[in-house]
Amino acid sequence: MVGAVLAQLDLQFFLMVLAGSTAGLLVGAIPGLSVTMATAILVSITYGWPMKTALALIMGVYVSGVFGGAVSAILINIPGAPSSIATTLDGFPMAQKGEASKALWAATSQSFVGTLIGLLILALVAKPMTRIALAFTPTDYFLLAVFGLTTVGSLTSKSFTKGLISAVFGVLVSMVGIDPIMGTPRFTFGSTQLMGGIGLVAALIGLFGFAEVLTQIGQRNLTPISATAGRMKVDFRETFKHFPLSFRASIIGTFIGALPGVGGPVASLLAYDHARKTVKKPSRPFGEGAVEGIVASESANNACIGGALIPMLTLAIPGDAVTAVILSAFYVHGLRPGPLLFTETPDLFYTILAAGFVGAFVMLLLGIVFSPLLCKVVLVPKRILLPVVGVLCVIGSYAVNASMFDVLVMLIFGLLGFAMRERGYAVAPMVLGIVLGPLMDSNFRRAVSLASSGDNMLVSMFAHPITLVLLALIVISVLSGIPAVTRLFNRKEATGKRATAN
């Protein structure tokens, strides 16, 4: 396999990956410009190109684009992509403490690690993982979404109850639009513009970006985000130190990526929750600038790349929006992904692997080269930076659908995010609810519809091994998120340690 991958490499291949990676970094770092959008444009541009050249360019955009979302998340508290939501929780606090360079290096190195692990898993266990993903029933997808919502305790360090309220409100927001099962309007209040639902990107930019602008203006603090950006230090020892966590997060990311329709936001948030529960001595408390939070989030969302490619290549089922566009590129070039891909056109599988691995190394190089320049953003006085960020919020929300309505949605969610922060409600759980709401809604109703035809609805819905495992995980996650239960276990652990010491 190694020889087949290396056989794909030549100068033109490297240059295409480099061009794609540079474009992906820029697209990912600018709020409102998505990797999916860039990939769709590339499919039309590369229509007449050889498939190998087209895949090199597209995979370069894919790999670096996912990482690029961390740049704006760390520097200006706006996730460049939904999969970078968890990165803002500790990345921006690190930038405020003068550690922007350290945060960007952590994001760069761990995105590199996550990409490599995801692609290695793709190369080694593509078919077995696809069989597991296909074993998921609608009930399992619903429970997976519920399990994701139980992580709200990890997204807010102050109040589990307020985090849960925020998440539930996000689920309600996700219900706006056309009912996916019945095809009837819900919560649109007669507005045709709400028929398509609330745009995730517009809500994301408003809740994080515009709300941050309003918060800074309200504090009347026009000094730079930080007095220092910190010195860029390429520290591979730090990367190896966090490798056990990044490996576990990458496994989570790859597995979630292999589940069609779930994707990077869920993977990064579940990995962040895992880090918060398993890392005993973080560099700082999570949510206040713990580098472990960036490690988990960025490893997981880049590992999703390899995971999302698994069902696309083996079954022609896209794992996320980007792989759906890549799948269309295959069809445009007259190719048929699926079980026969490995026997009829195996070179394409090795081309994707080669482009992904080269893209990971190019992404690492670009991060090292450009991070010192990007870090200067935190040194810009806020009287200059805040208007620029405000304009980016407007442009980013407008760019998705070329709609002024999305700009209005962004402004409304910006005001809502500002009010939530003032009242102590975290906005990240709300975004999690918006992301997971459609997954919960459609799959729960499908599960009920399928189970209602059986003799026993409860047995039909829940009597499956994967379902029982997910139910157990939900119970454990809920109990661990309740402060009273956490305090009880902490007291027992402290008592046990004292008894051992005596």
Residue pLDDT, tens place only, 263-313? 778 888 889 988 888 888 888 888 888 899 999 999 999 999 888 888 878
Label residues 348-374 b or e (16+ Cβ within 10 Å = b): bbbbbbbbbbbbbbbbbebbeebbeeb
Q: Please say if the pLDDT value at position 245 is more than 70.
A: yes
Q: What's the pLDDT score for residue 489?
A: 58
- Pairing mode of beta strands 185-186, 177-178: antiparallel
**What's the angle, vertex CA 156, arms to CA 393 and CA 141, rounded to 5?**
85
Which residues, listed in sequence order, are joined to residue 408 by a DSSP beta bridge? none
DSSP assigned state of 210? I
Q: Please say if the pLDDT value at position 388 is more than 70.
A: yes
The mean pLDDT value for 177-203 works out to 83
Q: pLDDT band at residue 453, thresholds of 50, 70 and 90?
A: confident
Say if residues 358 and 9 touch (Cβ distance below 8 Å).
yes
Q: HEC states along 409-459?
A: HHHHHHHHHHHHHHCCCCCHHHHHHHHHHHHHHHHHHHHHHHHCCCCCHHH
Instruction: State how far the Cα of 458 lies from the Cα of 476, in Å rounded to an integer.
Output: 21
Q: Please say if the pLDDT value at position 9 is more than 60.
A: yes
Instruction: State how far the Cα of 439 lies from the Cα of 24, in Å rounded to an integer.
Output: 28
Q: Report which residue type is found at 82.
A: P
Which residues, listed in sequence order, are joined to residue 186 by a DSSP beta bridge? 177
Q: Please say if the pLDDT value at position 49 is more than 70.
A: yes
Instruction: State how far the Cα of 38 lies from the Cα of 315, in Å rounded to an integer.
Output: 24
Say if residues 174 and 162 touch (Cβ distance below 8 Å).
no
Burial class of 33 by CB neighbour count within 10 A (0 to 12, 13 to 18, 19+):
buried
Q: pLDDT band at residue 360, thresholds of 50, 70 and 90?
A: very high
Q: What's the pLDDT score for residue 342?
A: 67
Instruction: State how far the Cα of 417 lies from the Cα of 166, in Å rounded to an integer.
Output: 10
Residue pLDDT, tens place only, 58-101? 888 888 888 888 888 888 888 877 788 889 888 888 888 888 88
Instruction: State how far the Cα of 33 lies from the Cα of 404, in Å rounded to an integer.
Output: 16
Q: What's the pLDDT score for residue 112?
A: 93
| Higher-confidence position of 397 and 249 | 249
| % pLDDT > 70, the chain | 85
Collapse the DSSP code of 247 into the 3-class scheme (helix H, G, I; strand E, B; otherwise coil) and give the result: helix
| % pLDDT > 90, the chain | 11
Question: pTM of the predicted model, to two decimals?
Answer: 0.79
Mean pLDDT of the chain: 81
Q: What's the pLDDT score for residue 303?
A: 92
Collapse the DSSP code of 360 into the 3-class scheme (helix H, G, I; strand E, B; otherwise coil) and give the result: helix
Q: Please say if the pLDDT value at position 27 is more than 70.
A: yes
Instruction: State how far the Cα of 296 lies from the Cα of 419, in Å rounded to an integer.
Output: 29
Q: pLDDT band at residue 226, thresholds of 50, 70 and 90?
A: low
Q: pLDDT band at residue 466, thresholds of 50, 70 and 90?
A: confident
Q: What's the pLDDT score for residue 484?
A: 64
DSSP assignment of 43-83 equals HHHTTTS-HHHHHHHHHHHHHHHHHHHHHHHHHHS--SSGG
Q: What's the pLDDT score for residue 50?
A: 83
Q: pLDDT band at residue 223, thresholds of 50, 70 and 90?
A: low
Q: Is the sign of the CA dihedral 285, 288, 291, 292 positive or negative? A: positive
The mean pLDDT value for 204-222 works out to 79
| Higher-confidence position of 385 and 254 | 254
Q: pLDDT band at residue 488, thresholds of 50, 70 and 90?
A: low
Q: HEC states along 92-140?
A: HHHHHCCCHHHHHHHHHHHHHHHHHHHHHHHHHHHHHHHHHHHCCCHHH
Instruction: State how far the Cα of 87 lies from the Cα of 264, in Å rounded to an integer.
Output: 12
Collapse the DSSP code of 382 into the 3-class scheme (helix H, G, I; strand E, B; otherwise coil) and give the result: helix
Question: Considering only 294-303, 333-342, 412-421, 488-497, which range has the smallest mean pLDDT?
Answer: 488-497
Q: Please say if the pLDDT value at position 246 is more than 90.
A: yes
Instruction: State how far the Cα of 279 lies from the Cα of 272, in Å rounded to an integer.
Output: 10
